[in-house]
Amino acid sequence: TDSWGVGEHTDYGLLTIVRQDDQGGLQVKSESAWMEAPPIPNSFVCNIGDMLDRMSGGLYRSTPHRVEKQRDRGRLSFPFFFDPGFDARIEAIDLSRVPPAVDDREERWDHASVHEFEGTYGDYILGKVSKVFPELRGSVI
């Protein structure tokens, strides 16, 4: 709908950093509901992406989030994406010294599994983008 600046999604890459303002609108999905993320002016929000979720075996989860439009004023957002190279093979990192995640195999919000994915980051992002923007499938993929 037109009430969302950015609809429900997880970030695709490793890590995203966005500078906060005083407007708010960021919502994060918990297990049971959407929660407001109160803005802290001049701070940064760090979102874990799907590739860090995969590489960490689910220890660090990519959390679904969305941004509600602020009707009374405009907004500019400049996210800084830390993503693997397009041809980078995405492999698990050794976490043998880190305690296991509580349940890193539970079903994700989009019913996808970042753990079963094999291939390059380019393969992953093209597949994910084609689901979000199916009209681009023929021209990009």
47: number of Cβ within 10 Å: 20
Query: Would you give the DSSP letter of residue 48?
Result: E
List, in sequence order, every beta strand (DSSP E) within 33-141.
34-36, 44-48, 65-68, 80-82
The number of distinct structural domains making up the chain is 1
Which range of residues forms the domain containing residue 112? 4-140
Is 138 or 22 the better-scoring residue by pLDDT?
22
pLDDT at 58 over 80: yes
- Which pLDDT value is given to residue 104? 52
CATH number at residue 27: 2.60.120.330
Question: Out of 13-22, 30-39, 43-52, 125-134, which region has the weakest mean confidence (pLDDT)?
Answer: 125-134
End-to-end CA distance of the chain: 27
State phi, psi for 134 to the nearest 5 degrees: -60, -25
Distance of CA 128 to the CA centre of its chain: 11
